[in-house]
Chains A and B, each alone.
Chain A
């Protein structure tokens, strides 16, 4: 456990040091790359709460990522085109303010996670994997046909949204915002796991019957975890959309859900920093192998295979040993 703490601290320090170094030697692209890794890590941290601690293998977290993305896309679209958004009961100008966008992203994705979780938690195992996929696919096809917001082409936002007191167009400042969000999510994750709720959730994953006998409802525990998980991934979606200044239905695609799962398994399932390490490794491999050969997917596949066959418990497991009593 102590060793894991050192590895975690070193990882966060490294994640902060790379863009700062890039700033020093004036390589803005590296900062953007690091920002991408941080945002993917945030999305995977969200998924890890459901998957790692709740044992809920969601193959549909792209739904929340996409909802976060479209929250940003729709609000900024109305603001940049000066087309008020008529909600029926009120008319809203849209907004370019990040905090408001995040709030909307978090609330809408939490709401979606509540509804999807309520229905999906009737099933378990492989059936749960597939029903979550089904819901994400429904969002995907809905987004494709939603011609008001670009349909298949998505929405382009010309200028990155604002954050009070910062200039978000400067790569390092936007990185700082994303990094802060990640640290906050990790803190929340750590607090959650150590709390009575986290202990009960852990128990509900392992032996639901015993949790039931002490008077707790395992399904309700899992539902709460699923909602928190979806909300965090939704926030990551809003940030991702702001990074690219672009939203498209591909944010809802099953490839993305699969990629988030892969990030977590690569890093280490149910380990606090597992998703972060997974995301950093994935983005780094994508960048460096992609620079070496156009057929880098073969090398990536071989590395992933190696991790599964020889490093059970992901790379964190390899570095720090198997998961301790937590």
Chain B
């Protein structure tokens, strides 16, 4: 087990962690501000990926594709918020679950109707492909490194938006007391649409960026959605900082677990058993992490309220 491999895997873990953060940040904002459980968040991720693949197919430009993903996901978010979601804020969590589950069905099948059942592919642009040499002589894919960079920049921008701008103040106030900020003259329904669109755009961005290293297909949002929920629950629902910590923890646990657990088990088990046991435990590791966090801190690492 060389140090190079370990560093490589840590970088992989960070990369999947920051992408997860893009998903989780929107989910946790929407829950924190509007009190909405949005199962359809994974569909917005899928919308972003498909929009990117379609635009890249026509124009050949990766930057345009990413912009298209942001725009398409935000537009889908605004549409869904004004038509459906708006009526659910006062509703029971269970009604929200059923309605957003219905939205998943409509989004998935609608996408299949437009693009067919075959996966699309989004290519890494030439100026981001190939390996780079990191200090210490480690070869690492430039694209993945760029993803880590983009994720960190977005996290910083989001932090600045929430902590340093007027809209951020309104969002934070909305988390604490909706009636009060409505009484102070803030147009609360416009604010909600804005927050939803912001969350949707982040999900779309993640979909487009990850779409270039995986295939773009119907249903791609669902596993990510579950992981994003796990992430915000570990971090504490409603907390952006918690979502970041949770996302990095989940990303690292998943990546490092799947590489090192089988190796670890090989020390005292025969190779075949070690392989299968290690792989299954690696898949379980994230959920074991979440249940441990919840058993000892029932509202997540940084959550204040249940």
Chain B residues with CB under 8 Å of A265's CB are 94-95, 97-98
Task: Give chain B nearest CB distance to A91 CB in angstroms.
Answer: 23
Nearest-neighbor residue (CB-CB) of A116 within chain B? B291
Q: Does residue B108 face the partner (Cβ distance < 8 Å to A)?
A: yes
Q: Are B95's CB and A262's CB within 8 A?
A: no
Q: CB within 8 A of A304: which of B98, B112, B283?
A: B98
Q: Are B284's CB and A298's CB within 8 A?
A: no
Q: Are A254's CB and B226's CB within 8 A?
A: yes
Chain B residues with CB under 8 Å of A301's CB are 102-106, 109
What 7 A-B pairs are tightest by C-beta distance, nearest first? A145-B280, A301-B105, A304-B102, A301-B106, A297-B109, A141-B283, A134-B287
Task: Give chain B nearest CB distance to A250 CB in angstroms.
Answer: 14
Task: Give chain A nearest CB distance to B249 CB in angstroms.
Answer: 14
Q: Does residue A269 face the partner (Cβ distance < 8 Å to B)?
A: yes
Q: Does residue B1 face the partner (Cβ distance < 8 Å to A)?
A: no
Chain A residues with CB under 8 Å of B298's CB are 122-124, 127
Q: Does residue B87 face the partner (Cβ distance < 8 Å to A)?
A: yes
Q: Does residue B242 face the partner (Cβ distance < 8 Å to A)?
A: no
Q: Does residue B93 face the partner (Cβ distance < 8 Å to A)?
A: yes
Task: Give chain A nearest CB distance to B225 CB in angstroms.
Answer: 10
Nearest-neighbor residue (CB-CB) of B35 within chain A? A126
Task: Give chain A nearest CB distance to B218 CB in angstroms.
Answer: 10
Nearest-neighbor residue (CB-CB) of A142 within chain B? B280
Chain B residues with CB under 8 Å of A297's CB are 105-106, 108-109
Q: Are A266's CB and B291's CB within 8 A?
A: no
11 extra A-B contacts, CB within 8 A, seeds A126-B37, A127-B294: A57-B93, A57-B94, A125-B93, A126-B93, A127-B299, A130-B230, A141-B284, A295-B112, A297-B106, A298-B110, A309-B87
22 contacts between A and B (CB under 8 A): A57-B93, A123-B298, A127-B237, A127-B298, A127-B306, A130-B294, A131-B291, A131-B295, A138-B288, A141-B287, A145-B276, A145-B277, A145-B280, A261-B94, A261-B97, A262-B98, A297-B105, A301-B103, A304-B98, A305-B99, A308-B91, A309-B87
Q: Are B284's CB and A126's CB within 8 A?
A: no
Q: Does residue A133 face the partner (Cβ distance < 8 Å to B)?
A: yes
Q: Are A142's CB and B284's CB within 8 A?
A: yes
Chain A 245-276 interface mask (CB, 8 Å, partner B; 1/0): 00000000010001001100110010000000
Interface residue ranges of B56-99 to A (CB < 8 Å)? 84, 87-88, 91, 93-95, 97-99
Q: Does residue B300 face the partner (Cβ distance < 8 Å to A)?
A: yes
Docked complex Cα distance between A154 and B287 (Å): 22
Instruction: Provide the main secondary structure of the chain A interface.
Output: helix
Q: Does residue B196 face the partner (Cβ distance < 8 Å to A)?
A: no
Nearest-neighbor residue (CB-CB) of A258 within chain B? B101
- Do A307 and B108 contact each other (CB < 8 Å), given the known contacts A123-B298, A127-B299, A295-B113? no
Interface residue ranges of B232-286 to A (CB < 8 Å)? 233, 237, 276-277, 279-280, 283-284
Q: Does residue B200 face the partner (Cβ distance < 8 Å to A)?
A: no
Q: Are A122's CB and B294's CB within 8 A?
A: yes
Q: Are A134's CB and B291's CB within 8 A?
A: yes
Docked complex Cα distance between A51 and B277 (Å): 34
Chain B residues with CB under 8 Å of A312's CB are 91, 95
Q: Does residue A83 face the partner (Cβ distance < 8 Å to B)?
A: no
Q: Are B95's CB and A308's CB within 8 A?
A: yes
How many of chain A's residues touch chain B, expressed as a range?
35 or more
Chain B 119-145 interface mask (CB, 8 Å, partner A; 1/0): 000000000000000000000000000
Instruction: Provide the main secondary structure of the chain B interface.
Output: helix
Give chain A's interface residues, CB within 8 Å of chain B. 51, 57, 119, 122-127, 130-131, 133-135, 137-138, 141-142, 144-145, 147, 151, 254, 258, 261-262, 265-266, 269, 295-298, 300-305, 307-309, 312
Docked complex Cα distance between A151 and B273 (Å): 13
Chain A residues with CB under 8 Å of B99's CB are 304-305, 308-309
Task: Give chain A nearest CB distance to B80 CB in angstroms.
Answer: 11
Nearest-neighbor residue (CB-CB) of B277 within chain A? A145
Nearest-neighbor residue (CB-CB) of B113 within chain A? A295
Chain B residues with CB under 8 Å of A298's CB are 105-106, 109-110, 113
Chain A residues with CB under 8 Å of B229's CB are 130, 133
Interface centre among A122, A127, A304, by most chain B C-beta atoms within 10 angstroms, is A127
Q: Are B233's CB and A126's CB within 8 A?
A: yes
Q: Are A305's CB and B102's CB within 8 A?
A: yes
- Do A144 and B108 contact each other (CB < 8 Å), given the known contacts A254-B226, A304-B101, A307-B98? no
Chain B residues with CB under 8 Å of A133's CB are 226, 229
Docked complex Cα distance between A269 and B230 (Å): 26
Chain A residues with CB under 8 Å of B103's CB are 301, 305
Task: Give chain B nearest CB distance to A60 CB in angstroms.
Answer: 10
Task: Give chain A nearest CB distance to B253 CB in angstroms.
Answer: 13
Nearest-neighbor residue (CB-CB) of B117 within chain A? A294
Docked complex Cα distance between A131 and B229 (Å): 11
Q: Does residue B224 face the partner (Cβ distance < 8 Å to A)?
A: no
Q: Are B84's CB and A266's CB within 8 A?
A: no
Q: CB within 8 A of B88: which of A145, A295, A304, A308?
A: A308
- Do A305 and B84 contact each other (CB < 8 Å), given the known contacts A130-B290, A261-B94? yes
Q: Are B306's CB and A125's CB within 8 A?
A: yes
Q: Are B280's CB and A144's CB within 8 A?
A: yes
Nearest-neighbor residue (CB-CB) of A59 within chain B? B97
Nearest-neighbor residue (CB-CB) of B278 within chain A? A145
Task: Give chain B nearest CB distance to A49 CB in angstroms.
Answer: 15
- Do A119 and B112 contact each other (CB < 8 Å), given the known contacts A138-B288, A312-B95? no
Docked complex Cα distance between A144 and B170 (Å): 47
Chain B residues with CB under 8 Å of A305's CB are 84, 99, 102-103, 106
Chain A residues with CB under 8 Å of B112's CB are 295
Chain A residues with CB under 8 Å of B283's CB are 141, 144-145
